[in-house]
Amino acid sequence: MTDKDKNPVNSHFEYFLKDMRKHIKVFGVKNLIVDDLNTEDLSKFDGLGNASHIEHVRKALKRTGLGGDLDYLVVRASNGQPIAKGAVDYNSNKGAGTLIQLTTIHELRGLGLGSYIIEKLEDKIRQRGIYTAILGVEVDNQDAKRLYERLGYEEFGSTQESWEETDEYGNPYNYTAHEILMMKELLRLQ
Ligand SMILES: CC(C)(COP(=O)(O)OP(=O)(O)OC[C@H]1O[C@@H](n2cnc3c(N)ncnc32)[C@H](O)[C@@H]1OP(=O)(O)O)[C@@H](O)C(=O)NCCC(=O)NCCS
């Protein structure tokens, strides 16, 4: 396939990602907007998860808002496009915030977006007066594990999590993840 034959929507998105990569390399991530993910964002979720993951995110969003037990944050490009995301669940480990559903668009990985959103999620945990962050990382996801170690997370156990996924033909199946559990004591900021 030549460049000319490419789907114009896809090639537009590819150009956007190239520009964004350059922009982040020059200006870093700290000037990018981080705010609450909302249901309208799910229609612009290219690169952040397949259809079944989007349904898990939609479910999680129902638990956000006033009195909710989950915070969901997104890093946005200047046009509002979500480029990285992650959530904190306050229900799965009592007395701790559990980081879940962390994803950066593939083409923008390794630029600091994951570290940035984790920093903002840790702020959310502190705002609730909680000073322990937990996360689970699949045993074969050693790159992500190294990132969490660099950010101060330490291994303290392991677990098995199962959830429903959908294969490429739309058939549901049960996925089991073998996860290493990691924990970080958050600094109390003045
Ligand atoms: C894990 C993830 C969120 C990190 O986001 P990111 O924006 O690349 O994070 P940063 O740029 O801040 O940090 C990059 C670090 O993550 C590691 N990393 C993990 N997976 C990576 C990938 N696929 N591409 C680039 N870096 C990756 C790098 O090794 C790097 O660590 P290093 O600096 O020690 O080399 C992202 O790689 C991702 O979405 N992965 C797929 C989904 C996933 O595994 N989520 C985590 C579930 S626990």
Which of 85, 147, 149 to mutate for ligand 1's pocket (most ligand atoms within 8 Å of CB)?
147
- The size of the chain, in residues, is 190
Residue 110: phi and psi, rounded to 5, are 80, 15
Task: Measure 147 CA to ligand 1 centroid, in angstroms.
Answer: 7
pLDDT averaged over every residue in the chain: 93
CA distance 84 to 106: 10
What's residue 154's pLDDT? 98
Average pLDDT over every residue of 175-189: 94
CA distance 4 to 123: 46
Question: Does 3 have pLDDT greater than 90?
Answer: no
Question: Does 78 have pLDDT greater than 50?
Answer: yes
Question: Does 72 have pLDDT greater than 70?
Answer: yes
Band of pLDDT at residue 92, cut at 50, 70 and 90: very high
Task: Measure 187 CA to ligand 1 centroid, in angstroms.
Answer: 23
Contact 105, 13 (CB under 8 A): no
Within 6 Å (CB) of ligand 1, which residues are found?
84, 102-104, 109-115, 137, 141, 143-144, 146-147, 150
Residues 18-71 have pLDDT tens digits of: 999 999 999 999 999 999 999 999 999 989 998 889 999 999 999 999 999 999
- State the DSSP string of 129-140: T--EEEEEEETT
What's residue 129's pLDDT? 96
Going 45 to 43 to 162 to 75, the CA torsion angle's sign is positive
Band of pLDDT at residue 8, cut at 50, 70 and 90: low
CA 153 from chain centre, in angstroms, equals: 16
Contact 184, 154 (CB under 8 A): yes
SS3 at position 11: helix
pTM reported for the whole predicted model = 0.91
Task: Measure 4 CA to ligand 1 centroid, in angstroms.
Answer: 32
Which of 104, 107, 138 to mutate for ligand 1's pocket (most ligand atoms within 8 Å of CB)?
104
Question: Does 5 have pLDDT greater than 70?
Answer: no
Which of 109, 138, 159 to mutate for ligand 1's pocket (most ligand atoms within 8 Å of CB)?
109
What's residue 168's pLDDT? 81
What's residue 1's pLDDT? 45
CATH tag, 3-133:
3.40.630.30
Task: Give the side-chain half-sphere CA count within 13 A for 101.
Answer: 25
Give the residue from 46, 49, 126 showing the smallest Cα distance to 86: 49
Band of pLDDT at residue 177, cut at 50, 70 and 90: very high
Average pLDDT over every residue of 151-158: 98
Task: Measure 114 CA to ligand 1 centroid, in angstroms.
Answer: 6
Domain locations in the chain as residue ranges? 3-133
Residues 93-145 have pLDDT tens digits of: 999 999 999 999 999 999 999 999 999 999 999 999 999 999 999 999 999 99
